[in-house]
Amino acid sequence: MSVTKYQVFLTVAACGGFTRAAEELHFTQSGVSHTVAALESELGVPLFVRNRSGVTLTADGRALLPYIQALWDDARRLEQKAADLRGLDTGLVRVATFSSVSIQWLPYLLKSFREVHPHIEFELLPFVENAELEEAVLSGKADCCFASLPTIQPLDTWLLHRDQWRVIVSYGHPLAGRDPFPLEALSTEPFIFLQEGDDYEIQAVLDSLQVRPNIQYILRDDLSILAMVSNGLGISIMPELELEHCPYPLVACPLPRSFYRNIGIAVKDKNALSLSTRCFIDHTRHWVGTHYSK
């Protein structure tokens, strides 16, 4: 039984339109439309409402979505298991990740991995909050995720790197280079705060230091904060990994006490991994261990 129709349905639902789904799947738009129509005929219910701006799921489509997602996930696991049994170095690894790992690690990590395993493909799923990363693994949307440890959910994890938090200031700031950065200045200097959702990592550092920052700006984007700090609009706190290859002139100063975020890789069950996922995790642990010390 062909399961491509389920992939098409899920992609159209995610993209909100036939044209974008066709581009993502490398199908023709008419092919996508025909596949959806055939699936609707097979199931006997309308799945999408068509309009000028695209398509949206009908009530029936929303009700069937988790079941079709489960069928598609099972089909991919079946294909991967068959490849494992044949001993083939192929497969798809779905990795949930966050921005600093995506920018600073993955381009180099994946390049070195592909040199050894050229036929393993990857789907990268970007998220912002740790809870989203963990949920992607628990729900089966991702095979593994990079996350801050310890995880809230009961996942199997490996510690990769201890990433130290730093105070960042503009290149010409009067306190640039201070070691450590004065505690009182954390309360008085204009502060640019990263909106963390439910993670509270920066807030935990400030609370531990008993600092109430003079927050002037709240942003959700790391690069925007780096740009604003470099232009003298305030100071901020960032982990060192965010600062690698930074395109803006900044100075990173030690905090009055050392604080770390522990970056790890997590899976739902380390005893139930596909060969391709296990290969990726082993390669990641070796690569990070070679380039960084825990």
Q: From 158, 180, 97, 95, select the one nearest 286 (Cα to Cα).
A: 158
Q: What is the 3-state secondary structure (H, E, C) of 99-119?
A: HHHHHHCHHHHHHHHHHHCCC
* Domain of residue 242, CATH code: 3.40.190.10
Query: CA dihedral defined by 151, 152, 154, 158, rounded to 10 degrees?
Result: 0
Q: Does residue 139 lie within any of the structural domains?
A: no
With a cut of 60, say whether residue 219 has pLDDT above it: yes
Q: What is the pTM of this model?
A: 0.72
Confidence of residue 86 (pLDDT cuts 50, 70, 90): low
Q: Is residue 67 part of a domain?
A: yes
CATH code where residue 54 lies: 1.10.10.10
32-61 mean pLDDT: 89
Q: How many domains does the chain have?
A: 2
Examine residue 8 and state whether it is found in any structural domain, yes or no: yes
The answer to whether residue 167 is domain-embedded is yes
Is the predicted pLDDT of residue 49 greater than 50, yes or no?
A: yes
> Residue 199: what pLDDT?
67
User: Is residue 60 a part of any domain in this protein?
Assistant: yes
Flag whether 186 is in a domain. Answer: yes
Query: Where in the sequence is the domain holding 22, given as residue range(s)?
Result: 1-86
Q: Is the pLDDT of residue 20 over 50?
A: yes
- 286 is a domain residue: no
